[in-house]
Amino acid sequence: MTKKARTNSDWSAARPVLPATGPRRLALYRELRGQIEAGRLSPGDKLPTTRDIAARFGIARGAAVAAYEMLAADGFAEARVGAGTYVAAAVPSLQKEASPQLRNAPDAVAPLPGTLGCSTADATTLRIFRMLMNRHLTNPSPRHFHYNDPAGSHALRVEIAAYLKAARGVNCDPEQVIMTSGTQQALDLAIRALLKAGDPVWIEDPCYVMARKVFAASGMQVVPVPVDGEGLDVAAGARLAPQARAVYVTPSHQYPLGVTLSMARRLQLIDWAQRAGGYIIEDDYDSEFRFSGPPLSALQGIDGEGRVIYVGTFSKTLLPGFRIGYLVVPWTVRERVLEVRQLTDRFPSTLAEDALAEFLRDGHFSAHVKRARRRVRAARDALMTALEEAGLEDGGLHVMPPEQGLHLVAHLPAGIDDGALVEIAADAGFGVRALSPLYAGATDRRGLVIGFSGFEAEVLAQAARRFIRDPRFLALSGR
């Protein structure tokens, strides 16, 4: 039986590139051998004739003949009389140290019920937003084809300014609104534009961990200031760091404790900023979700001296995946913030901005928030019912139904390992976060921070019941 010759159909793509210097026969040998070992030339592939390969590479035919002879001698090629030279059927191989393999990114996994940071977009919202996005893709604006304003779409900033004035009492011109890719970028822009390494900055204690990290990573002197039933203790902050240059605060719904900064403290904080020449960075992350009575106006709305940097986001109301947030800045710092914005991230996504501007302008956002608020409230109530049914007060777990926001705190007695409870909850399919690590230093406060946004009410309640019935939870809680 004769072997059927197989001609390499893609030799032109696989052909080697020889180095500029060095013996030609060795260079050709090494390149061909490397291609055979890498599998780019397969067993049975026919190699070009020595005359052809010499012409291709501009080398002497004798160098090509010598290279082929070396390949055959080493077992990488075989010469067939009257047929030519072929890649050997059994190519020798050397044991090589295994190279590290890059791990494939795991597929996205749905968060466990109770996980923080989940949004509440529904089918109606997604359908409308998809329609708006399709409209702008079908008839794209000329803005999509060149570099955008670093502040973002003017049309969107007009809608945001109008919304903030009506819903949050924020006093601003559209030109004071600067679009960002979320809260984290907003904080980074404010830090880069207004502060310098070593500046003391007050942060709430406990606090949103990523905010604390971004201040620390930027070289700020982070000063944790205690939070009590009225919010940030301004007097304590003035004692701890009277020369602070800024304060980061969540006044409408303190994260994670959920308290609201009292009006007396608000006025005290603004007075401090005016006297110290410092800035208040107001993170108003979930004020749309209030279930009883109107929220207090934003700090920015009662600041008459341009000391408040207002931070807002659509991550909680729409989808974190949109990556759309914004800053409202005083006129005095606008140009500095825009300069940093342009240097670090030239401009936001024009396509998403145009769709969102229409979503706001045509009333879809207000309707969406109303629907989302009803779902979130139902989930909160179902979670509270599940926790109350367990009689957790007997075990020392104290939970108060929050009147605002997207999470609650279940307080535990001192000495209980809230980190261990997080692991037990995860085993039960319930996503919670420990309270104690959210403090800057050692604390005897223990608790679980539980989200109730983005989950069906009964699914959330069932996850909570599985957790509180787990024997390990019962043992740790002393029940």
Token reading at 373: 């608020």
- The verdict on residue 145 lying in a domain is yes
Supply the pTM of this predicted model: 0.76
Same domain, 179 and 299: yes
Same domain, 354 and 427: no
Residue 5: pLDDT over 60: no
User: Which of 367, 398, 432 is where one domain is finished?
Assistant: 367
Residue 13: pLDDT over 60: no
Mean pLDDT over each residue of the chain, to the nearest integer: 87
Per residue, the 3-state secondary structure of 353-387, as one string, reads HHHHHHHHHCCHHHHHHHHHHHHHHHHHHHHHHHH
User: Which of 341, 367, 393 is where one domain is finished?
Assistant: 367
Looking at residue 293, which CATH number applies to its domain?
A: 3.40.640.10
Is 446:414 a contact under the CB 8 Å cutoff?
Answer: yes
Higher-pLDDT residue of 192 and 60 is 192
Same domain, 70 and 195: no
* Residue 154, domain extent: 123-367
Same domain, 349 and 305: yes
Q: Where are the alpha helices (DSSP H) in 277-330?
A: none
- The verdict on residue 102 lying in a domain is no
Looking at residue 456, which CATH number applies to its domain?
A: 3.90.1150.10
**Distance in angstroms (rounded) separating the CA atoms of residues 331 and 158:** 16
**Distance in angstroms (rounded) separating the CA atoms of residues 190 and 174:** 18
Is 376:406 a contact under the CB 8 Å cutoff?
Answer: yes
- The verdict on residue 93 lying in a domain is no
Question: What's the pLDDT band for 394 if we cut at 50, 70, 90?
Answer: low
| Angle value at C-alpha 361, between 356 and 367, nearest 5 degrees | 85
Higher-pLDDT residue of 203 and 25 is 203
Same domain, 27 and 83: yes
Same domain, 50 and 151: no
User: Which of 68, 87, 106 is where one domain is finished?
Assistant: 87
Tens of pLDDT, residues 310-338 = 999 998 888 888 889 999 999 999 999 99
Same domain, 156 and 246: yes
**Distance in angstroms (rounded) separating the CA atoms of residues 479 and 414:** 15
Residue 25: pLDDT over 90: no
Question: At how many degrees (to 10) do helices 364-389 and 457-468 cross?
Answer: 30
Largest Cα separation within the chain, whole Å, is 100
Structural domains of the chain, count: 3
- The verdict on residue 131 lying in a domain is yes
- The verdict on residue 92 lying in a domain is no
Same domain, 388 and 346: no
Question: What's the pLDDT band for 2 if we cut at 50, 70, 90?
Answer: very low
Question: What's the pLDDT band for 430 if we cut at 50, 70, 90?
Answer: very high
Same domain, 344 and 433: no
Looking at residue 73, which CATH number applies to its domain?
A: 1.10.10.10
Is 381:457 a contact under the CB 8 Å cutoff?
Answer: yes
Same domain, 383 and 249: no
pLDDT of residue 188: 93
Is 35:87 a contact under the CB 8 Å cutoff?
Answer: no
Same domain, 387 and 338: no
Is 87:76 a contact under the CB 8 Å cutoff?
Answer: yes
Same domain, 73 and 221: no
